């Protein structure tokens, strides 16, 4: 006699109370040790010498310049990658063309390539001994060891974030709504703004939040292309490393607290957007009420 005939659900893997509690306990302990503990230490060490020392560290010219470089980089890289992600997702999900699979592979490359390797690759492209280096030097155009190089490296490592959030959603939605709007005479921009954008807005915001957090915290690729020049080409993660190597632990933790706060707000925004997006998907997936069930 099967379990279903008696009205009982079949046993699930790991459904035993002891196993379930042990697994949950292990996850909670590891989460506390690997995630919560470092954040708590950052907060404690940042304010160990008091508020005045904390504010003085953040008001230091080098720290303010590092914060400015980080913000400017995000203000440039995030909108560009957002536009790239929307265009890539639109192209892949709304059109059929040769090389579509290749485009998907290209979008995934930054996730499979180490940021350090990406930074070194930029050296061989824009450095003095690189592919475009001599031409750039002749025309006095500086890419590496300046803001453009930092922006390019940050754009490389964060390029897939928006596209990866939009492509599965737009594939699931199909092309029917856009084709209907086009058949009614709507232009491409009007179709996108009135039909496509409202249906992808939560996934788009989710991708933008993740992209922004990664840009502000990027270290590997930026450390190669920036030159790590104090007060000139340092972003906040690079400035934290310099402070730590200079045995200025309080300053390093104070600067790190900014990135920690950004991380916390990113998690909060991520959870909120996931809930809003899940709620919208549930509404869209629910069948309309039949005539007999309407009030």
- In the structure, what pLDDT confidence band is assigned to residue 295 with cuts at 50, 70 and 90? very low
Determine which of 76-80, 110-114, 225-229, 257-261 has the lowest per-residue pLDDT on average: 225-229
Q: Where do runs of H (alpha helix) occur along 47-138?
A: 51-59, 61-94, 100-112, 115-126, 133-138
In angstroms, how far is the first alpha carbon of the chain from the final one? 44
Residues 16 and 73 in one domain: no
Q: What is the pLDDT of residues 231-245, one digit of tens each?
A: 888 999 999 999 988
How many folded domains does the chain comprise?
A: 2
Question: Do 26 and 87 lie in a common domain?
Answer: no
- 196 located within any domain: yes
Q: Could you tell me if 270 and 210 are in contact, meaning their C-beta atoms sit under 8 angstroms apart?
A: yes
Q: Is residue 1 part of a domain?
A: no
Global confidence as pTM = 0.81
- The answer to whether position 294 is within a domain reads no
Regarding whether 110 and 23 lie in a shared domain, the answer is no
> Do 64 and 205 fall within a single domain?
yes
pLDDT at 19: 79
Lowest mean pLDDT among 110-119, 187-196, 215-224: 187-196
CATH number at residue 270: 1.10.3720.10
Residue-range definition of the domain harbouring residue 16 = 12-46
Whole-angstrom distance, CA of residue 188 vs CA of residue 186: 7
């Amino acid at each position: 006699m099967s379990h279903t005939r008696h009205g009982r659900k079949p046993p699930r893997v790991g459904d035993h109370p002891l196993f379930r509690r042990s697994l949950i306990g292990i996850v909670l302990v590891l989460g506390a040790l690997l995630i919560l503990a470092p954040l708590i230490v950052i907060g404690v060490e940042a304010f160990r010498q008091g508020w005045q020392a904390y504010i003085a560290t953040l008001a230091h010219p080098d720290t303010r310049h590092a914060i400015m470089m980080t913000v400017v980089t995000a203000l440039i890289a995030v909108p560009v990658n957002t536009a790239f992600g929307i265009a890539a997702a639109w192209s892949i999900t709304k059109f059929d063309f040769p090389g579509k699979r290749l485009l998907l592979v290209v979008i995934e490359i930054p996730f499979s390539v180490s940021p350090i390797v990406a930074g070194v690759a930029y050296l061989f492209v824009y450095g003095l001994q690189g592919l475009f280096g001599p031409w750039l030097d002749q025309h006095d155009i500086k890419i590496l060891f300046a803001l453009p190089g930092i922006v390019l490296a940050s754009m490389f490592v964060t390029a897939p974030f928006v596209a990866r959030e939009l492509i599965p959603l737009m594939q699931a939605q199909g092309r029917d709504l856009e084709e209907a709007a086009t058949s009614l005479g709507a232009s491409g921009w009007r179709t996108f703004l009135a039909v496509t954008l409202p249906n992808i807005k939560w996934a788009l915001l989710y991708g933008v939040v993740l992209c922004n957090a990664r840009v502000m915290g990027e270290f590997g690729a930026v450390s190669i292309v920036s030159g790590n020049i104090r007060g000139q080409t340092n972003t906040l993660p690079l400035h934290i490393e310099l402070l730590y190597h200079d045995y200025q632990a309080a300053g390093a933790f104070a600067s790190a607290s900014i990135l920690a706060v950004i991380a916390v707000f990113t998690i909060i925004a991520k959870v909120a957007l996931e809930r809003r997006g899940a709620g919208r998907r549930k509404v869209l997936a629910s069948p309309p009420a039949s005539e007999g069930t309407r009030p």
